[in-house]
Amino acid sequence: MVGEEKMVLRNRVTKTSEIPEKDEDQRNLTKESLETYRNGRLDIKQLIAKKRQLTAEAEELKPLFLKEVGSHFDDFVTNLIEKSASLDNGGYALTTFSILEEMKNNHRAKDLRAPPEQGKIFISRRSLLDELFEVDHIRTIYHMFIALLIIFILSTSVVDYLDEGRLVPEFNLMSYAFGKFSTVIWTWWLMFLSTLSIPYFLFQHWAKGYSKSSHRFISTLIHGFIFIVFQLGILGFVPTYIALTYSLPPASRFVVILEQIRMVMKAHSFVRENVPRVLNAAKEKSSTVPIPTVNQYLYFLFAPTLIYRDSYPRTPTVRWGYVAMQFIQVFGCLFYVYYIFERLCAPLFRNIKQEPFSARVLVLCVFNSILPGVLILFLSFFAFLHCWLNAFAEMLRFGDRMFYKDWWNSTSYSNYYRTWNVVVHDWLYYYAYKDLLWFFSKKFKSAAMLAVFALSAIVHEYALAVCLSYFYPVLFVLFMFFGMAFNFIVNDSRKRPIWNIMMWASLFLGHGVILCFYSQEWYARQHCPLKNPTFLDYVRPRSWTCRYVF
C-alpha cells in the first residue's frame, strides 16, 4: 500500500511538471504562427520552398530505402525458410549443439570424409515472373513483346502480298523444321518406357537382394555396370541413331535429344538418391528396405525437376485456365521465333551467302545477328523455363516453381550460371560438383568446377552437333574458355551496376556470334554439298572454303 501511494504521488508530480512544458510549446507555436501571418507572402514562399526541398530529399531516399529493406527482407525470409525446412532433416533436429558435436567428431576423425549434404529442399513458391507480372510496369514489357510480334506478322503478310500476291502465310520453314514428327513420337515412347522400367526394376532387384547377399560388392558392381550400359548404350545411343538414320529435321531432332538428356539425368537422380538410403538401411540392419513405389517414380519422370524426392510440396487444386494460357504462350513463342527467322535471319544470310568468306563479312554478320540472337534468348527462356515448366507444374500440382531466379540482375557470371536455369544447375551442383568434392577432396574445388563446366559444354555441343548434322565447336569454345574465364574474373565480388551492363553486353555479343557462325555453316553445307563425305567433312568447317554457285 505504501509503495502504491508513492507511485501515485510521483505520477501527479510528473503530470504537473508536464503541464507548464505543454503550455510553453503551445505559446511557441502560436508565436510562430503569428510571425508567419504577420510576414505574409514571404514566409509562405519559404515554407513552400522548404516543402519542395523535403519532398525532393524524400524521393532521393525512397529507392535506397526500399532497396535496403527489400534485400534485408529477402535474406531474412530465405534464411527463415531454410532453417524451418531443415529442422526435421534426417529424423533429428539440427541444433547448435548437434552441429558442434558433428564438427568435433569430424575433427577427431580427419581421415573420414563427410557425406554429401542432404540436398535441395523443396518448398511451395511461385515463379518469379508470375509475381512480377502482377506489377503493371513489368507487364507493360510483356505487352511490348506482343506488339512486336504483331508487327512481325504484319510485315511478313505485307511482303508476301507484294512479292507473291498472297495473304495467307505458308509456314514452310516451321513445317520443315518439325517434319517427321510421328517418328519423334514413337521414339519418345521408346525412351520413356525404357526409362520407366529398366532403372526402376534394376534398382528394385538390387535393393531387395543387397541386405541378404553375401557378395554385396560384386552384386552392386554388376547392377551398376548394367545401369551404365543402359544410360550410355541404350538411352544414350538409340535415340541419336534414330535421329541420324531417319534424317529428322533440326527441330524434331532437338525434341528427341533434349528428351534423351532429360531422361538420362532423371534416371541418374533416381538411382543416386535411393542407393544411399538402401546402404544406410543395411548398415542399420533395418527390416524394411526403402524402395519407392512405381507411382512415385512415374510422378518424378513428369515433374519439372531433376532432383528425385519421394514427395514434393503440392498445391491444393489445378488451375486449368492457367495451364491453357501457358501452352498458348509456348506456341506463341514458337511462331515468334519463326517470324524472327523469316524477317531477320533469312534475308541476312541470303545476302551473306553471295559474298566470299572474309573478316568484313564475319564482323557484319555478328553484329547483324545480335538482335535476333537476343530475341531468341528471351523467347527460349520464357517459353521453356517459365511457360512449359509452369504448365506441367500446375497439372501435377507441383508446388516449388523456382525454375529460375532474377538472372537479369546478375553482376557476375557465376551468379548468372546459378540463376539462369535453376533446374539444371541443381542437378550439376548436387550430382556433379558436390559428388566430385566428396569423392576426391574439398581441396579440388577449382578442378571440380572445371569438370562441371566441361560436362555442360560437351552436352551442349553434343546437342547442337546432332541437331544440325555437323560439328562446329563455337559454343564449346565460348562456354569452356570465355565462360570459364568470366566465371573467375567477373565473380560475386562485383556488385556495381557497371558489371550488370558488362554482363548484358557480353551476352548480346555471344549470342550474335553463335547465331552468325552456326547459320553461316548451315547455309554453306546446304549450298556446297559433298557427294561422298568422310568423317573429317563433318568436322571441318564448310563455310571457310565454300564458294556458292548461282
Looking at the annotation, which residues are catalytic? 460
Cell output for 232: 550410355
Closest CA to 154 of 374, 339, 329, 331: 339
Around Cβ 354, how many Cβ atoms within 10 Å? 9
Residue type at position 419: T
**Side chain identity at residue 4, one-letter code:** E
> CA–CA separation, 543 vs 546, rounded Å?
5
Cα gap 225→231, rounded to integer Å: 10
Rounded to whole angstroms, how far apart are CA atoms 190 and 229?
16
User: Is the alpha carbon torsion for 492, 496, 497, 499 positive or negative?
Assistant: negative
Cell of 433: 560438383
CA-CA distance, 444 to 463, in Å (whole number)? 29
CA dihedral 254, 260, 264, 270 (to 10 degrees): 110
All three cell numbers of 217, joined, read 560388392
Cell numbers describing residue 406: 532474377
Q: 3-class SS at 400? A: strand
State the Cα–Cα distance between residues 512 and 370, nearest whole angstrom: 4
Q: Residue 301 and residue 539: Cα distance in Å, rounded? A: 35
Torsion of CA 464, 467, 471, 473, to 10 degrees: -10
Q: Please work out, in degrees rounded to the nearest 5, the angle formed at the alpha carbon of residue 427 by the alpha carbons of 126 and 441.
A: 130
- Residue 6 neighbours by CB under 8 Å, 6+ apart: none
**Neighbouring-strand partners of residue 400:** 125
**Where does residue 544 rank: exposed (0-12), middle (13-18), buried (19+ CB within 10 A)?**
exposed
List helix spans (H) across 211-358. Answer: 216-229, 238-245, 250-283, 294-302, 320-340, 346-352
Q: How many angstroms from the chain centroid is the CA of residue 497?
A: 22
CA geometry: angle at 99 spanning 419 and 82, to 5°? 30
Q: Which sign, positive or negative, has the C-alpha torsion 311, 313, 319, 320?
A: negative
The CA distance from 164 to 34, in Å, is: 84
Which three cell numbers, joined as nine digits, stand for 409?
Answer: 540482375
Going by C-alpha positions, the residue among 66, 383, 428 that lies closest to residue 254 is: 383
Task: Give the helix, strand, coil percentages of the chain, each rounded to 5.
Answer: 75, 0, 25
Compute how many other C-beta atoms are within 10 angstroms of the C-beta atom of residue 347: 12
